[in-house]
């Protein structure tokens, strides 16, 4: 059963897999399946993770984006299994009519991500690896939660990729990212299922203690500090503005490694409980174990 509630029959272990979604592509790499990929999402060359795992990945056929699927390229690649985001459910009937087996994923919080890892692991006949991956994530998150338990819960504003006044509400994974770090998302009152546009007045009303910029933000920490509209914001006055690391992959997206974003944020919100050394150790060991490379952690 996929994350749209559809029953999907997979008669034999897939040898050729196409993924039109960054999240599922990263998961497949974490399960050790880089050699089975025959197509991945557009703009793969903008994702450092692919070159870090294997430079050949960025040359794979373009299966489209999370908003628009490339049916022609997918059919040409001849995959045994196609993995798409749930938001592309409208293309499933056409793909099935073409004889393709389609699995939809929707990892928009920690539980759904865990279920997604288990489901994909079963679909590709790697349940053991999926179980180990989930156990590693849960163990580290449990350790972080235990260490920050009982401490103050700072108010955090997470600013989006395209603009500072774009933020994530409770329905998005980014809310989970902050909660796991021992913070509270000031925008949790928003019910949008995608990035919401807010005003300076709203941000000042929330008055976050910390501001975290998305990993792929097109603006900088200095841009925020120099924005006169934010001069009275506590996070700005106290120099508590940070940008999520982006040297490996975007941890503010629900990839398997997204828990590392929570570890990073926890090391900022609660440095006396979660050390920078612990954060770096987690990053190094995770990618070495599941992705086959040892990253340089700054």
- pLDDT, tens digit (0-9, with 9 covering 90-100), for 105-120: 999 889 999 999 999 9
CB-CB contact of 102 with 92 (8 Å): yes
- For tokens 């920690």, the residue is 110
pLDDT in tens, 231-285: 999 999 999 999 999 999 999 999 999 999 999 999 999 999 999 999 999 999 9
- Euclidean distance between CA atoms 44 and 31, whole angstroms: 18
Average pLDDT for residues 119-147, to the nearest whole number?
Answer: 97
Average pLDDT for residues 23-51, to the nearest whole number?
Answer: 96
pLDDT at position 192 over 80: no
Write down the mean pLDDT value for the chain: 96
Element (H, E) at 10: none
pLDDT at position 218 over 90: yes
pTM score, whole prediction: 0.93
* E strand residue ranges, the chain: 17-19, 37-39, 81-85, 102-105, 155-159, 166-167, 184-185, 196-197, 210-213, 241-243
pLDDT in tens, 41-86: 999 999 999 999 999 999 999 999 888 999 999 999 999 999 999 9
- For tokens 């795992």, the residue is 53
pLDDT at position 124 over 90: yes
Instruction: Write down how long the chain is.
Output: 298
> Which pairing describes strands 196-197 and 166-167: parallel, antiparallel, or unpaired?
antiparallel
């Amino acid at each position: 059963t996929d994350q749209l509630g559809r029953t999907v029959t997979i008669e034999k272990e897939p040898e050729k897999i196409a993924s039109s979604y960054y999240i599922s592509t990263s998961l497949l790499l974490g399960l050790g399946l880089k050699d089975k990929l025959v197509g991945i999402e557009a703009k793969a060359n903008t994702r450092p993770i692919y070159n870090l795992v294997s430079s050949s990945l960025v040359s794979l056929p373009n299966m489209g984006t999370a908003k628009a699927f490339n049916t022609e390229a997918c059919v040409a690649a001849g995959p045994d299994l196609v993995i798409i985001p749930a938001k592309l459910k409208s293309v499933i009937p056409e793909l099935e009519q073409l004889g393709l087996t389609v699995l939809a994923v929707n990892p928009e919080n920690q539980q759904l991500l865990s279920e997604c890892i288990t489901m994909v692991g079963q679909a590709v006949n790697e349940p053991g690896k999926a179980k180990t991956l989930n156990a590693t994530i849960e163990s580290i998150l449990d350790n972080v939660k235990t260490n920050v338990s009982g401490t103050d819960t700072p108010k955090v504003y997470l600013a989006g990729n395209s603009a500072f006044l774009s933020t994530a509400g409770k329905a998005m994974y980014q809310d989970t990212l902050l909660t796991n770090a021992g913070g509270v998302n000031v925008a949790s009152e928003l019910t949008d299922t995608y990035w919401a546009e807010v005003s300076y007045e709203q941000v000042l009303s929330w008055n976050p203690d910390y501001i975290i910029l998305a990993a792929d933000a097109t603006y900088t920490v200095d841009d925020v500090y120099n924005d006169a509209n934010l001069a009275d914001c506590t996070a700005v006055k106290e120099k508590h503005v940070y940008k999520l690391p982006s040297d490996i992959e975007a941890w503010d997206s629900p990839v398997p490694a997204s828990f590392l974003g929570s570890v990073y944020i926890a090391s900022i919100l609660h440095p006396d409980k979660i050390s920078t050394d612990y954060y770096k150790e987690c990053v190094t060991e995770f990618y070495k174990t599941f992705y086959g490379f040892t990253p340089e952690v700054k």
